[in-house]
Amino acid sequence: MEETGRLRVKKYAMLSKAWPHSYEQPSEKGYPAIFDLMDSWVLFFDNEPIGYTGSLDMGEFHFIGNTYILPQYRKSGYHSFLLSERNHKLGLKPKITILNPIEESQMYHLVKVVQSLGYNPVYLYDDVKDIMSNKLYTSIFDPSQQIWRMN
């Protein structure tokens, strides 16, 4: 990865304000529809947007996810850098992410990234009942995806 002095992460209420490339809403990528309400965190390299991720404050926790890095910048550490910066700026509130491998991404790679950031897998509603309702958990559960939590 390039030196971090050339990287900057900035939060936007609307991704279209900073992302000049085409993009799909999270729900169009297979995420729960609530992810469409997320704020966007855009990663800039030398003032050029190269990736983005999202977060949504749910009161007791943050939903986070729907991360995208331009293909020419993948496999260079930018994905982990962006997630780490976003999580640092969000503070200590628990974070819930849904791993949804699309395009060229693989589940094992996404698992490796979230584990390195300190997330733990959510296997049952009991793993999140302290921060969300059973109704919300049921609405985000998809057997083809994985839910992970970081406290």
pLDDT band at 1 (very low <50, low <70, confident <90, very high): low
Helix (H) or strand (E) holding 39: strand 39-45
Range of the domain at 20: 4-150
Q: How many residues does the chain have?
A: 151
**Degrees to nearest 5, angle at CA 85 with 104 and 32:** 50
Q: Quick one: average pLDDT of 12-16?
A: 93
Q: Which pLDDT score is estimated for 3?
A: 54
**Degrees to nearest 5, angle at CA 45 with 39 and 47:** 80
CATH of the domain at 98: 3.40.630.30
Other CB atoms within 10 Å distance of the CB of residue 106: 9
Q: How many domains does the chain have?
A: 1
pLDDT band at 30 (very low <50, low <70, confident <90, very high): confident
Q: Which pLDDT score is estimated for 4?
A: 61
Q: Quick one: average pLDDT of 14-36?
A: 90
Cβ atoms of 99 and 107 within 8 Å: the answer is: yes
pLDDT digits (tens, 9 = 90+) for 43-82: 999 999 999 999 999 999 999 988 899 999 988 889 889 9
pLDDT digits (tens, 9 = 90+) for 106-127: 888 889 989 998 999 999 999 9
Q: Quick one: average pLDDT of 129-143?
A: 95
pLDDT beyond 80 at 104 = no
Burial, 90: exposed, middle or buried (Cβ in 10 Å; 0-12, 13-18, 19+)? middle
Residue 64, beta-bridge partner list: 55, 97
Other CB atoms within 10 Å distance of the CB of residue 144: 9
Q: Minimal CA–CA distance to 26: which of 42, 10, 40?
A: 40
Q: Minimal CA–CA distance to 53: which of 62, 40, 63?
A: 40
pTM for this entry: 0.86
- In the chain, the amino acid numbered 32 is P
